[in-house]
Chain A
Amino acid sequence: MSLAIAARLARREMRGGLRGFRVLLGCIVLGVAAIAAVGTVRSSIAAGLASEGAALLGGDAEIELTYRFATQDERAWMQDNALRVSEVVDFRSLAVVPDGQRALTQVKSVDDAYPLLGTVTLDPPMPLGTALTGRDGLPGAVMDPTLMARLGLAAGDTFRLGSQDFALMAALVDEPDNATGGFSLGPRTLVHTGGLADSGLLAPGSLFSTLYRLDVAEDVDLATLQRAAEEDFAASGLSWSDARNGAPRVAQFVERLGAFLVLIGLSGLAVGGVGISAAVRAYLARKTPVIATLRTLGADQSTVRMVYFIQIGAIALLGLVLGVALGAGVPVLLAPLIEGRLPVPARFAFYPGPMIEAAIYGLLTALIFTLWPLARVGEVRAASLFRDGGTAERVLPPISTLILTALLVAVLITLAATFSGNLRLTLWTAGGIAGALILLTLAASGIRVLARLATPLARGRPALRWALAAIRGPGTSAGPVVLSLGLGLSVLAAVGQIDGTLRAAISQDLPERAPSYFFIDLQPDQMPGFMERLDSDTGVSRVQTAPMLRGVVTTINGRPAAEVAPGHWVIEGDRGVTYAATLPEGTVLTDGAWWPEDYDGPPQLSFAAEEAAEMGLKLGDTVTINILGRDITATLTSLREVDFSTAGIGFIMTINPAAVAGAPHSFIATVYAEEAAETAILRDISEAFPNVTGIAVRDAIDRVSGLLAGLASATAWGASATLLTGFLVLIGAAAADQGARVYEAAVLKTLGASRARILASLALRAGLLGAAAGIVALGAGILGGWAVSHFVMETPYRIIWPSALAIVAGGILVTLLAGLAFAWRPLAAKPARVLRARE
């Protein structure tokens, strides 16, 4: 084989321009552009977070402590190692206005040094220090405008936090370190810590975090400083962040969402692959006489294969360049628009990483989907020139092609896992795409069988029978249509069903089982009064209370917890710990035994069975929990069932009372009440116990539902790119099929068919295939929804009908649009000319 000759022949063949390659080009451009765009946005946000890490964090470094302030030693260490230190306290509370209205707020109390970096923007404009000083003897506060609107407050009004009144001085327009806040249940209120002295909100045992921001000298190495802090205060439970990753939660969220969307983009490329494969097949079918002529003239198989590989490769490269340019260019061009809508900083630019990633994905996809049809080139014999159908097409390509394809798929999955940083998600996505492609291929075959079975029902309905014949007969487009449209619709259907199921579970099922309120920060001496108020209320059906401490699992069997159960959510940050002398009512032990009621020996621990199994814990293991700076090492003596799906009280860890005797703590309570009684309960409890914070479950559900809607929307946009590629493939299939349709229409006209009947037949076949693709996709979506309900939410599954019907209707609409866009030529065809051209 001579590469030069092959290249020369390929160049001559391509003189005809891009005709026949438009769909191939479009599929590559779209698929690559979608991935490059997601990657560019992700990299831009990451760059924004990195460059403004210190500002987002509120300092060069941050030490977070839970439910306590820093000790004298810790403060001294910070003063020694930083130029400036600022102390911020973060907690939830209820903002109460004089007319009795109240709303949950996330309070940030600061010192005079705040903010170390950046500025707080207020409306009306004023220095933060002035605002927090207050007026008329009252400490000042600034508040998120949405909370002000909800409470009907304006600058100059007063409100209460705990038992302390504050003068609202201004609206809080912007705080520089807000991106680190993560998910919060209430809008922000900012006060001076000094103003909280008499509020009763920061009592021992209350739930609050302290954040110490450090401004360090330029030559200080942050990694070294972190190691020093963690070594000097190993058992303190401190959590370290620094400007190297100023908003870790945001960065992680953006990274994960971006990785997820890229994987969704890969499904778009897979759909594009179907189109690429179909386009290459159609192109090579048209070139059969040329290939046969080349073979007649003495070209060997490898030369002929190389001629077409070069042509397709050149088009694929053009597609990659255009796709990368489009995908990376659009976000950069739209940067001014996007930046305004993002809640985090972003630096839009051309980042080589995502561009290379998208190009590699596109290249591998193009290779995977063209190898198979290209292998057929070698099977074309010279005799094809003289005899049609001289060679029966093999079902499978040569084994070497299959092995090469499998290798390329393995490389693609490995790279996707590397780029996404999540092997599990990548494998699930790859498995999902492969499973969906197999399912859709089987479904396409099933549709052909159904069309055959349904043919007798079409007696006397010629248009329907022609449609069924076109669906089930030779040269049917059922495969490409169901594959290309089905995959995109499957993703959308799955998003619709899973999103609907989750939201139904959260907004409909949960309120039926969940309590009306959580009350936190109940002090032990407040419990009798609290219970008395609720016991006397006939609207209250149930009250659950439990003492609550917070602790960090530091070691398991003497080894760091992060080594024993890496990445498990229980060891990431602090968790609630309760104590109980006797087995709480309704608790089911799955293994081990509860400690005696008056037990005061070495600490014993009861652990949630499911989480223990996930972490590899077993009875007899020792677990060290740091509670308020003190290490308690307890032996695991029992495992319990804990059901979090009811949103009731559920502690992962319960310890025997003697182990935490004397430790300051508060109580948590859940109150189950009729809706009519809820307002009065919150009012009375917060009046009687100003330090206690009531969290309405309904509000929390609304926030979570809102977050889910945002995630579903982002995923749906990703899936839409897949659907758009699918539409392009459909257009390609319809265009490739047009010649056959024109011929068919000419014959039918010769036999006496009217144009209306031919149009009806074309519409019916498109609609039937679209409906079939929609129904198959819906099946996949329902399976996804059921799996999430059954395995994740553990709630009964019900089909989300609006989404289901929209998917099927969408399938019909899209195929009708693609099919009817190419109906004009068959309808307008002059039978004599069409038929004569075939003579």
Chain B
Amino acid sequence: MSAPILSLTDAALSLKANAGTVQILRAISLDVHKGETLGLIGPSGSGKSSLLMLMGGLERATGGRVMALGQDLGTLSEDALARLRRDNVGVVFQSFHLIPTMTALENVATPLELSGAPDAMERAQAQLEAVGLGKRAGHYPAQLSGGEQQRVALARATAPRPALLLADEPTGNLDSTTGAAIIDLLFDLRAQYGATLVLVTHDPALAARCDRVIALRDGQIDVSASSAVKDAI
């Protein structure tokens, strides 16, 4: 087994709300290995998306330690975290999060430009073609359907060939047919580039496509549920 690309040790996350501090995640410990696909499942509010955010350095752990690609995310500054994501992490969201003022091509090119790629536009165009949207490159997000927007988001996440792909319910806003196509595309691209994938989903069938599944409940890993899913696989 290769060294873990992600390693969480007693990671915790609590957020301050008006009603007081809310414990989102508690004592999460897990390793994710290079090339592995990991499904995160659990009911709403169980902390799946928050865990994904911790893994991507989009949220800072308030306890424990999160190591990604050999770096302790807790010790990195905001900009260092941004650089880490730029070079190594691709994120796909349920709501796509494309920049509305940029065309599809520009959205895809942005992470490439940030990493200083001289051929950012060409690579972005190629990636759009890889997701079947070569002819929609000049369209703004508002001019694309939900499925198309998510394909642009996938192209954007995968264009820099990241070592780690984080997908947060990527089909949550799509109909089942479109969602299935997006998942096929996600897994194809991951396989093509050999990236590690962490996928948050409500759908046990979708989670079953992953090498491993972890279930969360009330901010903790639900070992029994995780096993159940694994047994089902």
CB-CB under 8 A from A835, the residues of chain B are 58, 93, 95, 97
B110, B142, B156 — which one has the most chain A CB atoms within 10 A of its CB?
Answer: B110
Complex alpha-carbon distance, A132 and B93, angstroms: 95
Instruction: Count how many pairs of residues, one from A and one from B, have CB atoms less than 8 Å apart in the complex.
Output: 99
Can you list, as one digit per residue, whether each of A733-755 has a CB less than 8 Å from chain B (1) or not (0)?
A: 00000001001101111111111
Q: Which of B74-114 contact A (CB under 8 A)?
A: 78-79, 82-87, 89, 91, 93-95, 97-103, 106, 110-111, 113-114
Contact A752–B111 (Cβ < 8 Å)? yes
- Whether A752 pairs with B101 at a CB distance below 8 angstroms is no
Structural contact, B100 and A462, CB atoms closer than 8 A: no
Residue contact A469 to B101, C-beta cutoff 8 Å: yes
* Complex interface: chain A residues within 8 A of B78 (CB): 749, 755
Q: Are the C-beta atoms of A750 and B102 separated by less than 8 Å? A: no
Q: Which B residues are CB-close (under 8 A) to A465?
A: 106, 113
B82 to A474, Cβ gap below 8 A? Answer: no
Q: Is the CB of A460 within 8 A of B113?
A: yes
Cβ contacts B115-157/A at 8 Å (1 or 0 each): 1101011000000000000000000101000000000000010
Q: Across the interface, do A752 and B85 meet the contact criterion of CB distance under 8 Å?
A: yes
| Residue of A748, A831, A839 touching B94 (CB-CB under 8 A) | A839
**Which residue of chain B has its CB nearest to the CB of A749?**
B82
Which residues of chain A have C-beta atoms less than 8 A from B120's C-beta? 459-460
In chain A, what residue has the closest Cβ to B93? A835
Chain B: minimal CB distance from A42 (Å): 47
A751 to B56, CA, bound (A): 11
Task: Report A-chain residues with C-beta under 8 Å of the C-beta of B100.
Answer: 473-475, 740
Query: B46: CB under 8 A from chain A?
Result: no
A470 at the interface (CB under 8 A from B): yes
* In the bound complex, CA of A494 to CA of B145 (Å): 48
C-beta contact mask, A465-495 vs B, less than 8 Å → 1, else 0? 1100110111110000000000000000000
Determine if B220 is an interface residue (Cβ-Cβ < 8 Å).
Answer: no
B113 and A474 form a contact (CB under 8 A): no
Indicate if A756 sits at the interface (CB-CB under 8 A): yes
Q: What's the Cα separation between A748 and B102 when bound, in Å?
A: 12
Which residues of B are found within 8 Å of A466, using beta-carbon distances?
99, 102, 110
Q: Which positions 58-81 of chain B face chain A at CB distance < 8 Å?
A: 58-59, 78-79
CB pair B101–A474 under 8 Å, yes or no, is yes
Known contacts A460-B118, A462-B114; decide if A756 and B99 are in contact (CB<8 Å): no
CB distance from A422 to the nearest CB of B (A): 46
Residue of B82, B95, B120 with most chain A CB atoms under a 10 A cut-off = B82
| Residues in B neighbouring A755, C-beta threshold 8 A | 78-79, 82
Contact of B30 with A by CB under 8 A: no
Q: Is the CB of A752 within 8 A of B115?
A: yes
Nearest CB of A to B64, in Å = 17
Q: Interface readout for B161-179 with A: 1 if CB under 8 Å, 0 if not? A: 0000000100000000000
B140 near A753 with CB under 8 A, answer no
B101 and A751 contact, CB distance less than 8 A: no
The complex places the Cα of A839 from the Cα of B58 at a distance, in Å, of: 15
Q: Does A838 have its Cβ within 8 Å of any Cβ on chain B? A: yes
Residue of B79, B83, B120 with most chain A CB atoms under a 10 A cut-off: B79
Q: Tell me the bound Cα distance from A700 to B179 in angstroms.
A: 84
Q: Are B85's CB and A830's CB within 8 A?
A: no
User: Does B201 sit within 8 A of A, measured CB to CB?
Assistant: no
Residue A394, interface by CB 8 Å = no
Contacts of B98 in A (CB 8 A): 747
A832 beta carbon closer than 8 Å to chain B: yes
Nearest CB of chain A from residue B118's CB, rounded to whole Å? 6
CB neighbours (8 Å) of B95 from chain A are 835, 838-839
CB pair B140 A751 closer than 8 Å? no
In the complex, chain A residues whose CB is within 8 Å of the CB of B225: none
Query: Shortest beta-carbon distance, B108 to chain A, in Å?
Result: 10
A470's nearest neighbour on chain B, judged by CB, is B101
Q: Which of B58, B59, B118 has the most CB of A within 10 A?
A: B58
Q: A282 → chain B, closest Cβ, in Å?
A: 16
User: Is A341 an interface position by the 8 A CB rule?
Assistant: no
Report the bound CA distance from A752 to B95 in whole Å: 19
Does A389 lie at the interface of the complex (its beta carbon under 8 Å from any beta carbon of B)?
A: yes
CA distance A755 to B83 in the complex (A): 11
User: Does B53 lie within 8 Å of A476, measured CB to CB?
Assistant: no
Q: Does any Cβ of B come within 8 Å of A757's Cβ?
A: yes
Q: A830-B59, A832-B59 are in contact. Are A752 and B93 (CB under 8 A)?
A: no
Q: Chain A: which residue is nearest B83 at the CB level?
A: A752
* Cβ B93 vs Cβ A839 within 8 A: yes
With A469-B106, A832-B58 known to touch, is A754 a contact of B79 (CB < 8 Å)? yes
Tell me the minimal C-beta distance from A369 to chain B in angstroms: 26
A470 to chain B, nearest CB (A): 5
Taken together as a complex, chains A and B put the C-alpha atoms of A389 and B143 apart, in Å, by 10
A19 at interface by CB-CB < 8 Å: no
Asked if A750 and B91 sit within 8 Å, CB to CB, the answer is: yes
Interchain CA distance A202-B3 in the complex, whole Å: 113
Known A-B contacts A474-B140, A752-B82, A832-B58; the reply to A469 vs B118 at CB < 8 A is no
Q: How far is the CB of A762 from chain B (nearest CB, A)?
A: 13
Query: Chain B residues near A756 (CB, 8 Å)?
Result: 79
Q: Which residue of B lies closest to A751 (CB)?
A: B111
A150 part of interface (Cβ distance < 8 Å): no
CB-CB < 8 A to B111: which residues of A? Answer: 751-752
Q: Assess whether A15 is interfacial by the CB under 8 Å rule.
A: no
Asked whether any CB of chain B lies closer than 8 Å to the CB of A12, the reply is: no
**Option from B50, B85, B113 in Cβ contact (under 8 Å) with A462:** B113
A746 to B168, CA, bound (A): 16
Judge whether B7 is part of the interface by a CB distance below 8 angstroms.
Answer: no
Interchain CB contact under 8 A, B49 and A836: yes
- Tell whether, in the assembled complex, residue B97 and residue A750 are in contact, meaning their CB atoms are under 8 Å apart: yes
Give the residue name and chain of the A residue nearest to B86 (CB).
A752
The residue of chain A having its C-beta at the shortest distance from the C-beta of B89 within the complex is A752
How far apart are B172's CB and chain A's nearest CB, in angstroms? 8
Residue in B58, B84, B85, B102 whose beta carbon sits within 8 Å of that of A473 in the complex: B102
Task: Flag if A831 contacts B106 (CB, 8 Å).
Answer: no
Quick check: B86 and A751 within 8 Å, CB to CB? Answer: yes
Closest residue to A476 on the B side, CB-wise? B101
| Nearest-CB residue, chain B, relative to A757 | B114
Q: Nearest Cβ in chain B — how far from A455, in angstroms?
A: 8
14 A-B residue pairs with Cβ-Cβ distance under 8 Å, sorted by A, are A474-B101, A474-B142, A476-B101, A740-B100, A749-B82, A751-B86, A751-B156, A752-B86, A754-B79, A754-B82, A832-B58, A832-B59, A839-B49, A839-B94
20 further contact pairs, Cβ within 8 A, besides A469-B99, A747-B99 = A469-B103, A473-B100, A474-B142, A475-B100, A743-B97, A744-B99, A749-B82, A750-B58, A750-B85, A750-B97, A751-B114, A751-B156, A752-B86, A752-B87, A752-B115, A753-B86, A832-B50, A833-B59, A836-B49, A839-B95
